[in-house]
Structure formats: structure tokens, C-alpha cells
Amino acid sequence: MADFVKVGGLGDVSASLPRALRKSHDVRVLIPGYREVLSHAHDLEFVSHLPGKADVPSCDLARFDTADGLPIYVVVHAGLFERNGSPYLNPNGQDWEDNDIRFALLGLAAAEMAVGAGDPDWRPQIVHANDWPAALAPAYLAWRGARVPTVFTVHNLAYQGVFQRETMGRLGIPDQAFQINGVEFYDKLSFMKAGVFYASHVTTVSESYAREITSAESGCGLDGLLRTRAAEGRLSGILNGIDEQWDPRSEPSLFQNFEAGDWAGKRRNSSALRKHFGLAVSRGPLFAVVSRLVEQKGIDLIVESAEDIVAAGGQMVITGTGERKLESDVRSLVERHPGQVAAHIGFDESEAKNVYAGSDFLLMPSRFEPCGLSQMYAQRFGSLPIAHRVGGLADSIQDGVNGFLFQKPSASSFRGALVRAFGIFGAKARLNTMRHSAMRRAAGWQDACSGYELVYARSIGNS
């Protein structure tokens, strides 16, 4: 959850969606007691002690409220969650060896809350679990015969939480659940499959991705089950929104605030961004990358195409972290093109906002992209995304209107879109029309909230 600790877009969604739904619903968040969470937890109140199951230990359940009043419940277990590293990885970048126990505890705690064993003053009508770390919540409820409706959202099907069969006993999973109609996945245990199989309704984060994951090509081995859920009317795609606070008119970190039509203000941000990153003064286009540096994001395609960008008079700013090889490739690219390509291997949200505000184009040649948020942030700040026509990118970008789409995740297809972007940059009236369309695109959470409300109502009605 971005308020405390963030790994990818799920952190943004977990912070924004509950707040958007709070306008008409009593929404509360359950999160593990990571150090980063507890350090923000002022006036932490211990609510109850929750039982364990098999090797999944008991834990304390605590609560605090954010500054704007959003209730946060915390699964408190120092041995499992108060660690250095990220929520999922140790300081060496490897999966925590006990991730099965850690996230089974999260799912079990959610199930206990749902049946009334958590907060004596509050009990949910519905549980909404997000991605594999929370996926056992619907399963634990089903295994105990609880008729509590559940919604499970797939944010990225490629990360499934797969463990050895032997972990079944450790987690208290009944033997009969280890079958194709259950948690079995190629003779292993899949948390993701458990969420998809046992939830009342499955959602994912764009309409296009909901279709794509029912295919063998994009279904990551779960396409058959997902096709069944789609045929049952129990699979929906709901495009994420972005936080309204991402606004170039009021963002305090920008060199200069600006709005649609104030292109002089945007140019001043471009000049400031070039100076910040040590780029040469230029009248050419400035391309940006704000991304995890992983294969999924097509970073190799960006590195391969950088020579063409620089040769045509463009410059590039890259910010993000990820796979060591790709980080090394980016550093090498900077060394080959000093003054024309710059990078920050790391992530700072204020810096990212300045990159969006100062760049002309955002590069997103992702091989797959369930939703994507960077393209929406870029549009809000007048930077036109150049993206592969896939998943949420296809749903949020109108080709030639508020960005550019290309058909295949290949260097040649990507370069074709880059050529089009250079052409538009040279036609200022057309460029400014596209910028205006991008900045005015509705990207808030209202439509997504309406979609989730329909799913919640249907799930509650069918329970």
C-alpha cells in the first residue's frame, strides 16, 4: 500500500481504490505488519488475537487510522513481517523461504475477520483479496464452509505464488483440495489458482487483460479455469484509475505548475528536467522511461532502440530499478551517450512526477501489461505514451489521439511508433492537440468504483 510500502502498481491501487469506495461504503484495509507499516501506525490499537492453523502461527490483529480516516488493520507477527528487504524478497533479492507461511497468515487472518473473529465492533459483508499474497483468503473461507462472498483481483497473472506440494500440510490445506478443481498446479500448490478457483467472482485490471488471460498464450497455465469463469459470468475486467492528486496544476514538486494549453510551462519543466539529469540543451524530443527494469516491460527493446532515438536528435531519461542485467544495460547506454541519455537506478515519486512533466513521450513497450499506471500518469502530465497494444495499454491509449500504439513487442514494430512520434513532434499544432487530449482524458476512479460496486452487489446477492 503506497502510504507505507510500495512494490509495483498494486501499492497505488491499494491506496486509491479503498479511498474512492469510502464515499459510499465502509471499506477497511488489512495488511501485514511490515516495519514500514508499523512505523506509520500512530496510536496502534490491538483489537484481538487470531488463531493459527497447522504451522501457520497465531497473530495479533491491530488497528490504526490514516490521517484522512481510512481504517487499517495490521496482522502483527514480528517474526514473519518485521524484516529488512522488501515485502516479498530478502535483502539479496531472493524470495523469502517462508513466503508460504507469511502470506497464508494474511489470508487466514482475513478469513477469521470475515467470520467475526477479528474486530468485535465490525464485520465485513464481503472480502476483496488482491493478487497471490492474499489469495488464500477465499480458499480458507470455502474450506470452513463460510458463506462469505469474496472477490479476487488478479493484478499480474505471471506472479502466482507457487510452492511445493509438501507445503499443503504446513498451511492446513485439506488433502481433497489438491486436485485440478482446487489448488493443484502441475503437481504443486498455486496460491493464485486457489484465489481464482474459490472466489465468488474474479476481476482483473483491464477489459483487454481479462480477455487475454483466457488464452493459452497469456493464461500462464490457468487459461482453462479462467475460460470457465468467463463463461460463468464470473470474470470481469475493470480498468484501474489514478489518484486525482497527480495533477500538474498543483503538484508542489514541479519546477513550474502548468495545465493543458500552457505549453510554455511544460517546456520550462523540460528544461529543468534536462538540467537535473545533466542532459545537453536540445530542441529535440525528450523520451522518458519510468518503470521497473524487467523483461516484461520491454526494457531490452528500449535499449536496442536508443541508438535510433539519439541519432534522430532525441534524448532519453530512465528511472527505475529491477533485474541486474537490465540495470547494467541501462548504465552502459548512459556511458555510450553522455549528455543525451541519463538514468537514475532507483525510484523517487517526486522525481517521477518531474519526469512525466518534463518529457514529451513515455516509452512503454511492455510484452504484457495487465493495466499499467505510468501511461495514465504520463497523459495527465502531457507526456504522450508510446506503448504496445496490449492489456490496459490498449484500453487507456487512443492511437494517434492521446498516445501511440504498436502491434507487436518487437524492435521493428516499436521503431515504427517512434518514427510516428518524431513526425508528430515536428508538427507542433498536432502535438499540442494530442497533449491536450491526453491531459483531459478522464482517468479517475469513478468508473472503476462503479464496476466494483456491481461485482460486490452481485457477489453478495449470490451468496
What is the reported pLDDT for 383?
98
Closest CA to 1 of 105, 71, 89, 101: 71
Rounded distance, CA 384 to CA 364, Å?
A: 10
Structure letter (DSSP) for residue 174 = -
Q: Residue 202 has what pLDDT?
A: 98
If you search the block for the grid coordinates 491506496, which residue do you land on? 15
**Those residues with Cβ within 8 angstroms of residue 229's Cβ, 6 or more apart along the chain or in another chain:** 196, 202, 235
Count of positions (residues) in the chain: 463
pLDDT value at position 7? 81
Which regions in the chain score pLDDT beneath 70? none
Decide: 165 and 179 in contact? Cβ < 8 Å: no
- Domains of the chain by range and CATH? 9-241+446-462 (3.40.50.2000), 263-440 (3.40.50.2000)
Q: What are phi and psi of 141, to 5 degrees?
A: -65, -45
Sheet strands (E) in 82-225: 127-130, 150-154, 162-163, 184-185, 188-190, 201-204
Compute the distance between CA of residue 222 and CA of residue 236 in angstroms, rounded to an integer: 16
Q: Tell me how far apart the alpha carbons of residues 342 and 336 are, in angstroms, rounded to a whole number.
A: 10
Cα dihedral across residues 281, 283, 285, 290: positive or negative: positive
- What is the pLDDT at residue 243? 86
The DSSP symbol for 58 reads P
Per cent of the chain over pLDDT 70 is 100
The order of strands in the sheet holding 315-320 is 341-345, 315-320, 286-290, 361-364, 384-388, 404-406
Burial class (CB in 10 A: 0-12, 13-18, 19+), 52: middle
What is the predicted pLDDT for the residue at 8? 77
Q: In sequence order, what are the beta bridge partners of 49?
A: 60
388-428: pLDDT as tens digits: 999 999 999 999 999 999 999 999 999 999 999 999 999 99
Characterize 417-451 residue by residue with b for buried, 16 or more Cβ atoms within 10 angstroms of its Cβ, and e for exposed. bbebbbebbeeeeebbebbbbbbebebebeebbeb
Cα 335 to Cα 306, 332, 345: the distances in Å are 12, 5, 14
How many whole angstroms separate alpha carbon 66 and alpha carbon 71? Answer: 7
Side-by-side strand order, sheet with 150-154: 127-130, 150-154, 201-204, 235-237
